[in-house]
Every structure is written in structure tokens, then in C-alpha cells.
Structure 1
């Protein structure tokens, strides 16, 4: 994990466990993922939303690993859900994977790229150059 400096401007602490901003020291490589759904290896989605959310984080972790990063290198995460009813479940699942304080954005939208997908996650990670 890079030495990222979390910044507390007093807003995020009223909403959740994340940083209002982060400062990334010079000399880090940034790894940015595309919007990543909870697709299984066969291209299907789990029936249970929590399983779909877990799988999305596993897919993010796989992409980061291939790029030489890990979940602990995430400095920012953006998530789109298609139902406000899934927010609490999503946050519980996210907390299984993310234990540090990156910046977050969470939005509820009517639909992501495929109508059967209920979420997509996009992250930015900062790593020491290889």
C-alpha cells in the first residue's frame, strides 16, 4: 500500500467510513479499472445480490493483481447500483474487501450496461512503479 495521505474535511465521517480526499505522493503509478460487474467466469450473474457484489469485488481484485496492484492500493472507488434497496447490502460486502479509507462515490442509477446487472465498480489504485 502506498503512503497515501487521507484528508478529513469533516464531511465523510457523517456518511460512512471513507476519506473526503486523498493525497498521493509523486512517483506512483495509477491503475484504473473499467466499470466492473459481478459476472461469473461463464458470463452469468449470481441470483443473490450480495453474491453479485462479492463477485464484482473479486473481479476488481483480479484486474488489479494482473496490473501489479492489490485491493489495499485502492485510493478511490466509484460504484453504481441499480436499486437503492441494495445499498446496505453492498456496503456490508464492500467492507469485507476494503478495510482502509479510500475515497468513495456511490450512486443509484436506473440501469448499467446490461439490464440484468445490478452494479458496477470502478477503482483507482496507486502503486510504486515496477
Structure 2
């Protein structure tokens, strides 16, 4: 029989997990979270889930009848931008960079019929918030 923890930080973590799940977050077990991190404990971004979601919420309108998806290289570049904020410029600048990516998106060049054009990759679907996916896991 496992003895429950009565440490304040553990109790507050359980409450936070419950509140977030009530708000619609999907709970990931530690093993699921590790899988989403590509089995790398150093990854703080759930890359596998992010890549899938970026494909779901982003499309490129080429014409009134045609839409395309961002290339795999552009999805990778978008994830790398989020993973590698400019830490050498200090925490405030790095935080601003991540904030700007999350709120404004990342401009990326995509080759459309031999012509390079710039399109914005959104990390959050602001027009259809119900399409966003939120996960929560334990520390």
C-alpha cells in the first residue's frame, strides 16, 4: 500500500492538476509525457503533440479553392524557434520572443508553384479556440 504524501508542494500540485483538468486540459501520465517529448527528459516541449497540432490548425490559402499545408521543414523550423529563444540576450528578451511567437506566430517562406511566399505559422488558433489542445502533466 502506497502512503499518500502530505507535503505542501505535492498537495498543491494535485490541486493544480485537478483544476486544469476541470478547465479541459488532458492529463498525461509521466510515460505519456515522456513519449510526447520524444523520450528525452531534457525536452520541455511536447514536440510530437505540437507537430501534430501545428498541422491541424495551420493551412495556407493559395486560392479561393485551394489550401496547402506547411512543409515538414517549416514545421520543424517553427518548433525550433519555440525551443531556442535568444537566451544569450537575457531572460526578458527570450520571454518576449516566446510571447511574440505564441501570440503573433512565425513568418516562414513556403514554395508555392515555384514561387516563394511568406506565410505565418500560428501556434494557437485564436479564431477557433476549441481547436486548441492543452495538456498537463506532473513535474
Higher RCO (C-alpha under 8 Å, 6+ residues apart): 1
Question: TM (normalized to structure 2)?
Answer: 0.27
Structure (1 or 2) with the greater strand fraction? 1
Structure (1 or 2) with the greater helix fraction? 2
The structure having more radius of gyration, on CA atoms, is: 2
Question: TM (normalized to structure 1)?
Answer: 0.28
